[in-house]
Amino acid sequence: MNQEPEIRTENPLGYAPLPTLLRRFAVPSIIAMLVSSLYNIVDQFFIGQGVGYLGNAATNVAYPLTTICLAIALLIGIGSASRFSLSLGEGNPERAAEAVGNAIGMMVLFGLAYAVVIQLFLEPLLTAFGATEDVMPYAVSYTRITGLGMPLLIITNAMSNLARADGSPKYSMACMLVGAVINTILDPICIFLLNWGVAGAAWATVAGQFVSFLMAVRYARHFHRIQLQKRHFRLRPDTCLQTVSLGLSASLNQLAITFVQIVLNNSLTYYGSMSPYGKEIPLAACGIVMKVNAIMLAVIIGINQGSQPIIGFNYGARQFRRVRDIYRLSITYNLAVSVTAFLLFQLFPAQIVGLFGDSGNALYMEFAVKFMRIFLFMACVNGVQMFSSSFFSAIGKPIRGAVLSLTRQVIFLVPLLLLLHKVFVQRRHKAPTSHGGLDEPIPLQVLIGFLDGDDAHVDGFSQGAHGRDGLAGGQLSAHDLGLDLGRDLFVDRFAGVAADDDFQWTSSPCHSVLIEQVHYEHLETSCQEG
């Protein structure tokens, strides 16, 4: 009876000012998450400079394996940390120690199993993730090596969550920071000096992960608020299930990101092959945008993870006013981060993309800029949904958290990816030509120009039709489609669509607007005939 009040009064989570607590826990967590994101971003940067966009495309194809790994780490780390904080708040250190011991056992088992799966099924997995023939050799070389470090990554990230819940956010940060520094130092050495290419970036990554792993394992012997015994490492099904249920929300959110990445990779590869961009440019550009977005998400997740021990402890101690107050404070910080990121993505996309190489490739830059602006257009509201889902996990209500996580990426996003092509359709009109009939797609980028007022889409066709240089192979650039032809096509083909039986609806994913092109030879023929 005396133990519970003692724990509540001695632990600063129960009485310290909330802004101070949130800064103390969130700032190291943010740095740790940013550092974790930097592993792939640093690789992307040096590979882009040393190998080119095919190397960047390879890391993009391999990235879902990393996000799955992080999903496993969050499943165990967030779940066990939530159980740990709730148990301490309830005055039950024995249950808290049991949650930690079982979590460590799960880290080892899940990590080893995942590494084996990667090595056995690597090429089929990369194919499923959208690897092309040109990208596959780079992707296999990179992932075969980084797959060895997946168990290390799982243990390090999961233990970081537990160290943070134990009141050691700075140690949690240090684990990730040291590994990232080593990776950053070794990347240029292995890629440029040793001339190992993407394999060099992979070995640098694993080396950094190994050092972080050693630091994380060391903390297992130095918990402040519990004393681990051998009995705590004996896996108990009920404890493991509790851990999984509490970590499910964060894990599902990460898995959803992976699923969306796979859908995007395959769609961009498929539709890119029909465009002047080719298969690899959309794939590489998407990888850059997703990793830049990961920086914003790292800050948001860092705030969420930093607030988790505070929320969990006070909820377990039934100090609900402090729970409400920390919720409001965290939401405010998340909104500030999301809005700032949104402005950067919309105002400076070319500068951001240019940091990762191939800035001299006009087609690559054109696609990457447009993709960043559109794909990240609603980044300003990401923080609210993500924090709310993690909040429910922190207070021991995993089902609500899981539902909220799924709404953001799966329940709404994926169906919209598959269905919004009904809005951004490609209308085909069969018109007689010198070839006896031709199926001509409407230039959607011209239509975009009309809708958003971008003169770059519509002001140059007259020049282009009279000898302006186009793309390789004699194709006109989509941005060379001018006002004259564009307006004619728009009026002629859309005005009587309801009554014209010659129109056909053809499906394409919503984001294919970015890569949809016309059959330029056909347009030239129409122009000449007109």
Q: What is the CA radius of gyration of the chain?
A: 26
* Domain match, 17 and 78 both: yes
* Domain match, 317 and 387 both: yes
Length of the chain measured in residues:
530
pLDDT over threshold 70, residue 490: no
Average pLDDT for 419-423? 61
* Domain match, 207 and 324 both: yes
Of 267, 346, 273, give the one whose Cα is nearest residue 511. 267
pLDDT of residue 508: 37
Q: Report the range out of 196-210, 291-305, 486-500 with the highest average pLDDT.
A: 196-210
Lowest pLDDT segment from 34-48, 74-88, 389-403, 447-461? 447-461
* Domain match, 404 and 459 both: no
pLDDT over threshold 60, residue 416: yes
Q: Mean of the per-residue pLDDT values for the chain? A: 75
**pLDDT band for position 359 (cuts 50, 70, 90):** low
* Domain match, 366 and 427 both: no
* Domain match, 225 and 268 both: yes
Q: Is residue 389 assigned to a domain?
A: yes
* Domain match, 488 and 443 both: yes
Q: Is residue 491 assigned to a domain?
A: yes
* Domain match, 98 and 124 both: yes
* Domain match, 54 and 82 both: yes
pLDDT over threshold 80, residue 44: no
pLDDT over threshold 60, residue 242: yes
pLDDT of residue 415: 74
Cβ neighbourhood burial of 328 (10 Å; 0-12, 13-18, 19+): exposed
Lowest pLDDT segment from 28-32, 199-203, 313-317, 510-514? 510-514
* Domain match, 394 and 446 both: no
Q: Is residue 416 assigned to a domain?
A: no
- Domain end point (choices 411, 446, 463): 411
**pLDDT band for position 149 (cuts 50, 70, 90):** very high
Number of domains the chain is built from: 2
* Domain match, 367 and 257 both: yes
CB atoms within 10 A of CB 162: 27
pLDDT of residue 423: 60
Q: Is residue 196 assigned to a domain?
A: yes
Q: Is residue 418 assigned to a domain?
A: no
Distance CA 82, CA 135 (A): 41
Q: Is residue 494 assigned to a domain?
A: yes
pLDDT over threshold 80, residue 494: no
* Domain match, 336 and 441 both: no
What is the span of the domain harbouring residue 475?
A: 423-529
Query: What's the predicted TM-score (pTM) here?
Result: 0.62
Average pLDDT for 416-442? 47
Rounded to the nearest 5°, which phi and psi values hold at 426?
A: -110, 110
pLDDT of residue 210: 95
- Domain end point (choices 389, 411, 433): 411
- Domain end point (choices 371, 386, 411): 411
Q: Is residue 401 assigned to a domain?
A: yes
